[in-house]
Amino acid sequence: MTLNDLIVDKPRKFLLFGGKGGVGKTSNAAAAAIWAAEHGRETLIISTDPAHSLSDSLNQDVSGGEIKIVQGVDNLFAMEVNPKKEFQKYQAAVSGESFNSISPPLPIPDLLTDLSGLTPPGADEALAFSKVLEFIESSEYDLIIFDTAPTGHTLRLLSLPELLNSFFGKLLTFRLRLSAIWDRFKSFFSRGETVRDDSLERLEALKKSIEAASSELSDPNKTSFIVVMIPEAMAIYETERLLSTLYEYEIPVDHIIVNMIYPDIPDCVFCRSRKTMQDKYLKEIQALYSEFNITKVPLFNDEIRGISKLKELAGILFE
């Protein structure tokens, strides 16, 4: 199966691009998004890397945490997830503002009224993730491409469904007990006034979304994680780590992009030396990952920036 099959013949709904820092994740993800959109698929590219560079790569502003139309390509939309904004929404969902909305304010200990301090470990990733969940559930786009952060961060993101599930599970039980106590207080002090607290339902819904997203992302007919790497020792180590975690979380992987391969330039001692080094690691990569489809991308003589350069890269990836 070629990379093109993932978009045209056996189209997936989710493609995730990941790998070590600086190896070309954003460039390759953006090139794939342009290619898919040009082949008639309504495509959304989302950056989940807190250090966004999608705007730089597309050479247009897609920042601000909202979906933007990509100029110059039909059917293409882009978004850089804004963890700060998502954090505020999360706090609102978890604290259940309605607890504090009865006047006069009651002398309820903080612990009982304010749950906003209960932040799951890795909250920034969690929030970027909960934003992502919205898109996983939506059927608005034919294809959603994720430009992920460097490996360590992405591995935490992938472990989040499990983590959040147990976190929200505990939180739900806690809220249920709290609600029972609070209901008694309320009916005593508020003289019949009832204030509906829907934070439990919201938590329950978030928990369900997480479960649904996990199952979508582990379905090989829907999802493929594309590992991007360069032919160097450090990148191989990091790829090993990434692959074993993807395996653990049952995220399907069948493609590897080996990027920035040196051209063979006669009379250039520096290039020859780099190329000899890369050849050694290319052999190693081919032996290690023989079960994967490997696509090689040469080092361009310029940076890959803007739609037309990205189209050039797409030509190499998909043709």
Ligand X SMILES: Nc1ncnc2c1ncn2[C@@H]1O[C@H](COP(=O)(O)OP(=O)(O)OP(=O)(O)O)[C@@H](O)[C@H]1O
Kindly list the residues in this chain that would bind ligand X in the complex (CB under 6 A). Answer: 21-27, 49, 53, 150, 259-260, 297, 299-300, 303-305
Say if CB 23 and CB 257 are below 8 A apart: no
- Based on C-alpha coordinates, what's the Rg of the chain? 23
Interface residues with Mg ion (CB under 5 A)? 25-26, 53
DSSP 22: T
106 binds, among Mg ion, ligand X, none (CB under 5 to 8 A by kind): none
21 binds, among Mg ion, ligand X, none (CB under 5 to 8 A by kind): ligand X
Q: Which is nearer to ligand X, 94 or 260 (CB)?
A: 260
Q: How far is the CB of 277 from ligand X (least distance, A)?
A: 17
Q: How far is the CB of 278 from ligand X (least distance, A)?
A: 12
125 binds, among ligand X, Mg ion, none (CB under 5 to 8 A by kind): none
DSSP labels for 256-284?
EEEEEEPP--TT-HHHHHHHHHHHHHHHH
Record the tokens describing residue 281, joined without a space.
């690691």
Say if CB 118 and CB 94 are below 8 A apart: yes
252 binds, among ligand X, Mg ion, none (CB under 5 to 8 A by kind): none
303 binds, among ligand X, Mg ion, none (CB under 5 to 8 A by kind): ligand X
60 binds, among ligand X, Mg ion, none (CB under 5 to 8 A by kind): none
Q: Which is nearer to Mg ion, 25 or 68 (CB)?
A: 25
Q: How far is the CB of 216 from Mg ion (least distance, A)?
A: 23
Q: How far is the CB of 129 from Mg ion (least distance, A)?
A: 17
As a whole number of angstroms, the distance between CA 37 and CA 226 comes to 18
Q: How far is the CB of 17 from ligand X (least distance, A)?
A: 8
Q: Distance of alpha carbon 146 from its chain centroid, rounded?
A: 5
Q: Which is nearer to Mg ion, 53 or 245 (CB)?
A: 53
Q: Which is nearer to ligand X, 11 or 72 (CB)?
A: 72
Q: Which residues pair with 257 in a beta bridge?
A: 228, 295
Q: How far is the CB of 139 from ligand X (least distance, A)?
A: 28
Ordered alpha helix ranges (H), 218-268: 233-248
Say if CB 94 and CB 171 are below 8 A apart: yes
Q: Which is nearer to Mg ion, 22 or 220 (CB)?
A: 22
24 binds, among ligand X, Mg ion, none (CB under 5 to 8 A by kind): ligand X
Q: Which is nearer to Mg ion, 24 or 161 (CB)?
A: 24
58: nearest Cα among 83, 19, 37, 29: 29
Coil vs helix vs strand at 27: helix
Amino acid at 262: Y
Q: How far is the CB of 298 from ligand X (least distance, A)?
A: 6
Please state whether beta strands 68-69 and 255-261 pair in parallel, antiparallel, or not at all (unpaired).
unpaired
